[in-house]
Amino acid sequence: MTPGGHVGASIVATYVITNYVFKTEVTPVVLGLAALVGLLPDVDGIVTMIAKRERPMQQKVQHHRYVPHSPLFYLALTLLLTLVVPPQTAVLFGALTFVHLLLDSWATDDGIMWLWPLSRRQFGLFPRNLHAGGVFGLDFYLRVLRCAPVIVPEILLVLTGLTLTFRAVSFAQLG
Ligand SMILES: [Zn+2]
């Protein structure tokens, strides 16, 4: 999933959890923070690009095989967060990072380490190797556009996220 899809999914998940589980009105600030948390697991991609000099325009950045892309890591972080933030904030953090990992397992060529630390094997659902034949950078994203199982959820998440953000901003201005 691209960063746009992760941001869209984070906004949708936050909207649903805040409104229907916590029964409180979501604010634009909360949605903005949710977007950042939804991107948090990909910090290991930035570290990989710097430390291993992997260039996304020339090769696949292999960041799904590191601990910041494992469920147990975020379960531990969520439990630690409960010590310093309200429980609802910790629950939202745990849910958003879990959604990120789910999306990184969807129609991908590698998936994430769902069983770490028991195993470093990566699991994906409906695998699609869009890097096949050495396709990276812009050519990779052009291939993404032609792959319905990838691009349809991506577009739906981005459009729904934009709609919910617009709605939250509109209500904030009215209130
Ligand atoms: Zn990721």
Read off the pLDDT of residues 21-47 as tens digits, 9 standing for 90 and up: 999 999 999 999 999 999 999 998 888
Distance 125 CA to ligand 1 centre (A): 15
**Looking at the domain assignment, is residue 112 inside a domain?**
yes
Q: Please check whether residue 170 lies inside any domain of the structure.
A: no
Please enumerate in sequence order all residues whose Cβ is within 8 A of that of 81, keeping only pairs 6 or more positions apart, or say none.
Answer: 89, 90, 93, 94
What per-residue confidence (pLDDT) applies to 84? 97
How much distance in Å is there from the Cα of 171 to the middle of ligand 1?
Answer: 31
> How many folded domains does the chain comprise?
1
144 or 13: which leads in pLDDT: 13
Q: For residue 100, what are the domain limits?
A: 3-162
Where residue 175 falls among pLDDT bands split at 50, 70, 90?
low
- The predicted structure's pLDDT at residue 45: 82
- Distance from residue 101's CA to the centre of ligand 1 (Å): 6
- Ligand 1 centre to CA of 72 (Å) is 15
Q: CA–CA distance from 121 to each of 79, 93, 131, 153 (Å)?
A: 25, 25, 19, 25
Do the domain assignments include residue 173?
no
Q: Give domain status of residue 175, yes or no.
A: no
Nearby residues of 34 by Cβ (< 8 Å), 6 or more positions away: 10, 11, 13, 14, 92, 96
- Pinpoint the alpha helices (H) of 133-147: 137-145
Q: In the predicted model, is pLDDT for residue 62 greater than 90?
A: no
Q: How far apart are the CA of 27 and the centre of ligand 1, in A?
A: 25
> Does residue 130 fall inside a structural domain?
yes
Q: How far is the CA of 64 from the centre of ligand 1 (A)?
A: 6
- 40 contacts 69 by C-beta, under 8 angstroms: no
Residue 129 lies in a domain: yes
Answer whether residue 127 is part of any domain: yes
Q: How far is the CA of 40 from the centre of ligand 1 (A)?
A: 8
Q: Which of 37, 55, 2, 7 lies closest to 164 in space, CA to CA?
A: 7
Residue 172 within a domain: no
- The pTM assigned to this predicted structure is 0.90
- Residue 102 CA to ligand 1 center (angstroms) comes to 9
